[in-house]
């Protein structure tokens, strides 16, 4: 372990929570260099919906490498990119009645958010974007400006401009008409805020503490944007690609965003890739107005296309909905009884167990997550002061594996709380 302390930057984070050296992975498990297995309820922060080293995706990648397929091509036309575009359009967009142009901004989610903001401002000729309290949209300066957490914002070293934060329906604001408030800000010429170019939202705030909004809230947000000529951007980077039981998290609400950002599991097996989906009339880019050296990760195209096969052939979206019921039942029967102040919430296979009422400092949740790791479970925390345990397993997880991980949470909570 000494080389990491000696040479790697102090900015490293996850390795502090999971202090072992990992060697290999398979399915829903990661194994350290001593051979101990850990059940993964973290999934690479949502980048591994199809599991670690999914054999079908690995097979397709291996075939491509053996063929001598192009690995780097900037945004040139390639066979791999063509096949992904054709399949994504025919199998994901068209069946859902979605007519989007597809942009490959650069490898990561923050790049997709940056390009969405830039395009919204270019289209509307206005600078301000509304984001929500509790939001996380990335760590590069433009996306960080729309991320509400004070800790990463403070590290920017410069003022963060162009974003106005609106209340999200959670906590103090849960019984408050947040959409009505936004409309009042827009319509009141004494609010001090201009009409925004866009509003960016997560349908489930993941880093904010696993906070879903209801269908009616999203529908009202869509109508508000239409009424005032505002673009609606849905950030589906962590909760898209089937995580909620639909491929896109907004499908349940029956809305069509003007733009959608995707990353993480769109890369199929954890490979860097991001997309910006935009309505065709918004695609007013000039050539190379937004680009990046690694926006054409060809192996990621292959993996992403293979992931669409896995999604369809295994009926994965149906499986997610079935496993969601397992999660709810187990939490209610085995975790909530540990202490009735414990709360939970989520959608699909992203759920949060909230210990705020027991200890708002986050220390208790930290002890429980540490105990979970000692007992063989990798699980992250999120929310204010990291008081929420974040259940985020690969979508391919079996019922037996899911219950095994949930049991570790229940046992660890009992041991720490007493």
Residue 198 sits in a domain whose CATH number is 3.40.640.10
- Distance of alpha carbon 243 from alpha carbon 347, whole angstroms: 8
Would 356 be classed as within a structural domain? no
Q: How far apart are CA 340 and CA 338, in angstroms?
A: 7
* Crossing angle of helices 298-313 and 79-88, rounded to 10°: 30
The count of domains in the chain is: 2
List of residues 6+ apart from 40 with CB closer than 8 A: 25, 28, 29, 30, 48, 52, 378, 393, 394
pLDDT tens, position by position, 317-350 = 999 999 999 999 999 999 999 999 999 999 999 9
pLDDT band at 221 (very low <50, low <70, confident <90, very high): very high
Domain limits for position 199: 58-313
Condensed to tens digits (0 to 9), the pLDDT of residues 109-122 reads 999 999 999 999 99
Q: Average pLDDT in the 355-384 region?
A: 98
Q: Are residues 306 and 173 in the same domain?
A: yes
- Report pTM: 0.96
233 falls within a domain: yes
User: 244, 250 in Cβ contact below 8 A?
Assistant: no
Residues 203, 256: one domain?
A: yes
8 Å CB contact between 296 and 127: no
Query: Are 308 and 319 in a shared domain?
Result: no
Is 45 within a domain?
no
Same domain, 161 and 100: yes
Q: How many CB atoms lie within 10 A of CB 92?
A: 18
Give the pLDDT band (50/70/90) at residue 391: very high
Same domain, 257 and 274: yes
Q: Where are the alpha helices (DSSP H) in 229-315?
A: 298-313
**Per-residue pLDDT tens digits for 145-180:** 999 999 999 999 999 999 999 999 998 898 899 999
Q: Is residue 405 part of a domain?
A: yes
State yes or no: pLDDT of 129 exceeds 90.
yes
Report pLDDT for 381.
97
Q: Report the pLDDT value the prediction gives residue 119, as an integer from 0 to 100.
A: 98
- Are 190 and 319 contained in the same domain? no
Domain boundary among 293, 313, 333: 313
Q: Are residues 222 and 331 in the same domain?
A: no
Provide mean pLDDT across the span 126-138.
97
- pLDDT at position 1 is 80
Contact 393, 28 (CB under 8 A): yes
Arithmetic mean of pLDDT, 362-370: 98
Q: Is residue 305 part of a domain?
A: yes
Shared domain for 245 and 263, answered yes or no, is yes
Query: Percent of the chain scored above 70 by pLDDT?
Result: 100
174 and 280 share a domain? yes
pLDDT higher than threshold 90 for residue 312: yes
Largest CA distance in the chain: 64
Confidence of residue 77 (pLDDT cuts 50, 70, 90): very high
Residue 136: inside a domain: yes
Q: Residue 403: pLDDT band by 50, 70, 90 thresholds?
A: very high
Does position 358 have pLDDT exceeding 90, yes or no? yes
Flag whether 164 is in a domain.
Answer: yes
Triad 143, 147, 153: Cα angle to 5°: 95
Q: Which residues contact 20 (CB under 8 A, 6 or more apart)?
A: 32, 33, 34, 36
Q: Are residues 307 and 320 in the same domain?
A: no
Residues 172 and 257 in one domain: yes
pLDDT band, very low/low/confident/very high, at 296 (cuts 50, 70, 90): confident
Backbone CA torsion sign across 118, 46, 79, 96: negative
The percent of residues above 90 in pLDDT, for the chain, comes to 97
Q: What is the DSSP letter of 274?
A: -
Cβ neighbours for 58, distance < 8 A, ≥ 6 positions apart? 269
Going by pLDDT thresholds of 50, 70 and 90, the confidence category of residue 418 is: confident
List of E strands, 241-307:
259-262, 275-278
Looking at the structure, do residues 160 and 96 belong to the same domain, yes or no? yes
Instruction: Please check whether residue 25 lies inside any domain of the structure.
Output: no
- The mean predicted confidence, pLDDT, of the chain is 97
């Amino acid at each position: 372990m000494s080389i990491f302390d000696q040479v790697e930057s102090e900015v490293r984070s996850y390795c502090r929570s999971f202090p072992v050296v990992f060697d290999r992975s398979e399915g829903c498990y990661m194994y350290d260099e001593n051979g101990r297995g850990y059940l993964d309820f973290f999934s690479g922060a949502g980048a591994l919906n199809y599991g670690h080293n999914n054999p079908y995706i690995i097979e397709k990648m291996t075939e491509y490498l053996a063929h001598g397929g192009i690995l780097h091509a900037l945004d040139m036309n390639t066979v791999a990119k063509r096949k992904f575009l054709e399949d994504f359009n025919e199998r994901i967009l068209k069946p859902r009645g979605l007519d989007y142009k597809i942009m490959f901004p650069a490898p990561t989610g923050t790049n997709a958010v940056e390009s969405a903001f830039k395009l919204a401002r270019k289209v509307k000729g206005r600078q301000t974007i509304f984001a929500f309290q509790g939001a996380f949209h990335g760590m590069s300066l433009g996306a960080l400006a729309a991320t509400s957490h004070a800790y990463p914002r403070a590290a920017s070293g410069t003022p963060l401009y162009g974003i106005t934060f609106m209340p999200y329906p959670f906590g103090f604001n849960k019984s408050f008409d947040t959409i009505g408030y936004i409309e009042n800000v827009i319509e009141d010429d004494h609010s001090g805020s201009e009409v925004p170019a866009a509003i960016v939202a997560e349908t489930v705030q993941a880093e904010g503490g696993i906070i879903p909004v209801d269908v009616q809230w999203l529908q009202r947000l869509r109508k508000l944007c239409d009424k005032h000529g505002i673009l609606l951007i849905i950030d589906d980077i962590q909760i898209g690609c089937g995580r909620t039981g639909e491929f896109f998290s907004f499908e349940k609400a029956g809305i069509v965003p003007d733009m959608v950002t995707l990353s993480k599991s769109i890369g199929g097996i954890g490979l860097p890739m991001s997309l910006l989906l935009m309505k065709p009339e918004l695609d007013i880019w000039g050539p190379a107005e937004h680009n990046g050296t690694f926006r054409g990760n060809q192996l990621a195209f292959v993996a992403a296309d293979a992931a669409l096969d896995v999604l369809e052939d295994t009926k994965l979206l149906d499986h997610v909905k079935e496993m969601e019921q397992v999660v709810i039942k187990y939490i209610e029967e085995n975790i909530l009884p540990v202490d009735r102040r414990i709360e939970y919430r989520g959608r699909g296979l992203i759920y949060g167990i909230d210990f705020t009422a027991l200890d708002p400092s986050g220390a208790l949740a930290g002890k429980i997550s540490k105990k979970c790791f000692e007992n063989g479970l990798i699980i992250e925390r999120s929310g204010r002061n990291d008081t929420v345990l974040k259940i985020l397993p690969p979508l391919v997880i079996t019922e037996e594996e899911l219950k095994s991980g949930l049991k570790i949470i229940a046992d660890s909570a009992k041991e720490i709380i007493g």
